[in-house]
Structure 1
Amino acid sequence: MSTSRPILIIEDDAALRTTLAEQLALDGSFAADQAESAAEAEAKLAIDGARFDAILLDVGLPDGDGRDLCAKLRRDGLRMPVIMLTGADAEADVVRGLDAGANDYIAKPFRAGELLARVRAQLRVLDNSEDAVFTIGPYLFRPAAKLLLEPARNRKIRLTEKECLILKYLYRAGSKPVARQVLLNEVWGYSSAVSTHTLETHIYRLRQKIEPDPTNARLLLTEGGGYRLNPAEKQAVAA
């Protein structure tokens, strides 16, 4: 089972924007949201709990230059991959886009398969970099460092490799429950002979680390024959 990763498409050409969203959906690995302007994109990014794993960004937007928007996102601390889409493919244009903080730069017209491959490549780089930071409840999750940081209490929680993999997969699932066997296969491998008891033991240990009351889990829930994260518990868990 793969979990769809949220992608924000910022493009003023409605036909191209729709085509990109359809191609992402057909791939099965992504879920696309759309914005036709820099202002709309910033509004979507500012929504509480908003999450986008990557951005496809047109250079020519009706209310500004996409490169300026990219630079602003970087100043605001956003580190998801940004792939610029543009008809301006001169060397100076490419350099300006990359200097603004873009991870990749693709000239129009482009092949959908190549674009999807580049998105996947950028996500692989992010997931294994020190820049990968995910918000889980009151915590900032840094998989590369195997750490959960709780800024409100100035606390660090060290995680094992398997705990990191469990949290990453549940995070990718959003608020959807992940069946025990699916999670077991994804974390330990399809050829592994380990039982669901092993997974349950790791979940128990995770709850001991992250739940204020492990006997009354509110962040890492048991549901639908599996487990899910409850992102709405940010304030409740932090209190």
Structure 2
Amino acid sequence: MSAKKKILIVEDEPQIVLGLTDALTFEGFEVVSADTGKGGMAMARTFKPDAVILDLMLPDTNGFVVCEQLRRENRFIPIIMLTARSSEADKIRGLDAGADDYVTKPFSIGELIARMRAIFRRAQRPADAPETFQIGKVTVNLATQTITRGKRTQQLSFYEAGLLRLLQERAGQPVSREEILQKVWGLDASPTNRTVDNFIVKLRKKC
């Protein structure tokens, strides 16, 4: 990387923070951390990270609230939720709150870093790639990560925008869940096919 990407970790377990900080620093990232939701929001405003790793269970609030606040203040920042809560309802709620990815504890640091690199890699669109395109009656704007239908404009998450771009590029062709995972998430084993289904359900509601 020509310039260090900045990562904010919002997590109250010191051992996890230490392990993530050491691994991410070794991989060339600049890392800061906060152990409360309030501290995380303050750090996000001053540090201006390129991505956030966010715990769901914080001492002063829950990660859903922090995620929603982060998304309101910076609609483009990638947010990866890191939590011991693994129910499908929690995953859906996390994605609905604005998270781009949802990783459950215990987790592989190597996989987490791979997911983060995939996010940064997919954020770099080719110079000749169109920033706006039509899917039916919906206009997709990749520059602002929004979709517009009539007079209604809604925000897209990073992965929602990537999924729509892939479907636009493959218009009229079948696209398997496995290909979506590989092309959009950059991993062929995780997250699961169910994650793709959840994102498609969300996109249908928006479109």
**2:66 aligned with 1:69, yes or no?**
yes
Contact kept in structure 1, 2:71 and 2:77, CA below 8 Å: no
Mapped partners of 1:60, 1:86: distance in 2: 7
- The reply on whether 1:18 has 2:32 as its aligned counterpart is no
CA–CA distance in structure 2, aligned partners of residues 66 and 131 of structure 1: 24
Match of 1:113 in 2: 110
Three-state SS of the structure 2 residue aligned to 1:116 is helix
Q: Give the AA of the match of 2:99.
A: A
Q: Secondary structure at the match of 1:60?
A: coil
Alignment coverage as a number of residue pairs: 129
3-state DSSP class of the match of 2:30?
strand
Give the aligned residue type for 1:41: G
What's the counterpart of residue 227 of structure 1? none
Give deviations 1:32-82, integer Å, cap 9, x for gaps.
1111111111111222xx321000000000110101110111122342100
Match of 2:3 in 1: 3
1:59 equivalent in structure 2: 56
Query: Given the two structures, how large is their TM-score scaled by the length of structure 1?
Result: 0.51
Match for residue 42 of structure 1? 41
Whether contact under 8 Å (1:85, 1:105) holds in the other structure is yes
2:106 aligned counterpart, secondary structure: coil
Contact 1:25 1:31 in 2 (8 A): yes
AA aligned to 1:22 is D
Q: Which has the larger radius of gyration?
A: 1
Q: Which residue number corresponds to residue 123 of structure 1?
A: 120
Call closer, same or farther: CA 1:31–1:131 in 2, change over 3 Å. farther
Describe how 1:226-237 pairs up with structure 2 within 5 A.
none
Q: Secondary structure at the match of 1:7?
A: strand
Work out whether residues 81 and 126 of structure 1, in 8 Å CA contact, stay in contact via their aligned partners in 2. no
Q: Distance in 2 between matches of 1:36 and 1:24?
A: 17
Superposed CA RMSD in Å reads: 1.6
Contact (CA 8 Å) 1:87, 1:108: kept in 2 or not? Answer: yes
**Match of 2:199?**
none
Conserved 8 A contact 1:80-1:126:
no
Which aligned pairs between 1:168-207 and structure 2 lie closer than 5 A? none
Residue 44 of structure 2 aligns with an amino acid whose one-letter code is: L
Unaligned segments of structure 2, at least 5 residues: 126-141, 146-207
